[in-house]
Amino acid sequence: MNILLKSATIVNSNQKDIHLKERDILIEDGIISKIADKIEGEKATQIIRLENLHVSLGWMDTGVSFGEPGHEDRETIENGLLTAAKSGFTDIILNPNVHPVPDSSPDIVFLKNAAKNQLTNLHPLGTLTMNADGEDLAELFDMKNVGAVGYYDYKLPIKNSNLLKIALQYTQNFNGLVFSFPLDTQIKGKGIVNEGEVSTKLGLKGIPALAEELQIARDLFILEYAGGRLHIPTISTANSVSLIAEAKKKGLNVSCSVAVHNLFFTDTELEGFDSDFKVMPPLRTKEDSKALLKGIKSGVIDFVSTDHTPLTIEEKRVEFDNANYGTIGLESAFSALNVLLGAEKTVNLLTQGRRTFGVTEPVLLEGQAANLTLFDPDTKIKFTEEHIYSTSKNSMFLNRTLKGRVYGSINNSKIVLN
């Protein structure tokens, strides 16, 4: 299929010659064949003219859950990848939040095969330990060889300090990336939300910021001793930012991410006891959100993740204490970040990160494969269920006024438009 994008404003700060310039873009058989002020449409089988059309390199999300295998009622891989494509994401890092967990090479092969022939590329994480039970290392090297881009016992902290040390040392042999979820479960206790004024007022058991920060401090000490590559997913406190900033100053090979909702919301949202706001790590204070935003702007925080977690009505519409943790976020990510950071910074955040995970970086040049996201950064929207493409509808952004809309994406010689 040949596609002609008409009057598209290109957002790519790495290419100053075309950044924020309006151009026509011709794509032939999946390859960008021409970028020019004006291109006639005789070669195009599909001409795309959209209001205030902007184009960037395709976006990547570093933390997505679906459900298949084991929880297809939450989300299948096929519909999850379609949701990602409609939300502007041409690459996603898939969390091992499935049953059974992917702890061997056949499991990774299954996930890769289930994602074949889709617009959005799926890059799976394997678990760090067998059955994600924290006891014995999984088949890390074998999983790497068939496509695993990192190792993560999803939302489960590594309790055994020596196990983390050994994992960091062993994975240096093949440049593996070790994830460590920042939570000390003994400090957490039975807490379910951020410990503070709001939890006290509502009578909900709290999780101190210390539970996150103590684990991060431990992990960074082990990293300094063992070497290797460490990724700390979805940090949520101001002091976590400071700890990681100090580690980076020392030259440690550590990266981290923050979930969009931890930037946008605070624990005051819990006053309605709406279980869509029950997430892990929990929503924190306004001071924490400000520090996280500052960490993004300074570069201490490497990636913004949607932490997209589809859950069924039965898992969410129950008593707050019993509801599962998680919110979907693919569909609202761009529009929410755009409110906080503006379009250029948001696009920069959503297009970086591939190198850390060993994913090929796209290039917006003639002769290169088209890996593009189409969007309008200026239109204000009220985010409703009609904007949700996921099977599950558990979004904390429902009925929020956001800024910007995603038209769709182009990748793998395919186009998906909303």
267, 307, 321, 378: the active-site residue: 307
d(C-alpha 383, C-alpha 400), whole Å: 6
Interatomic CA distance for residues 109 and 385, integer angstroms: 34
Preceding amide of 281 cis, omega within 30? yes
CA pseudo-torsion sign 242, 243, 246, 247: negative
Query: Residue 313 and residue 393: Cα distance in Å, rounded?
Result: 8
The tokens of 378 are what? 């200026």
The whole-angstrom separation of Cα 332 and Cα 78 is 19
Nearest to 54 by CA among 3, 88, 27, 80: 88
d(CA 201, CA 219) in angstroms, rounded, equals 33
Contacts of 32 (CB under 8 A, 6+ apart): 25, 26, 364, 365, 366, 367, 368, 369, 370
Burial of 110 (0-12, 13-18, 19+ CB in 10 A): middle
Q: Is the dihedral of CA 78, 79, 82, 88 positive or negative?
A: negative
Is 307 annotated in the active site? yes
- Using CA atoms of 197, 199, 205, 211 in order, give the dihedral in degrees to the nearest 10: -60
Is it true that the peptide bond before 310 is cis, omega within 30 degrees of 0? Answer: no
Q: Which residues are catalytic?
A: 307
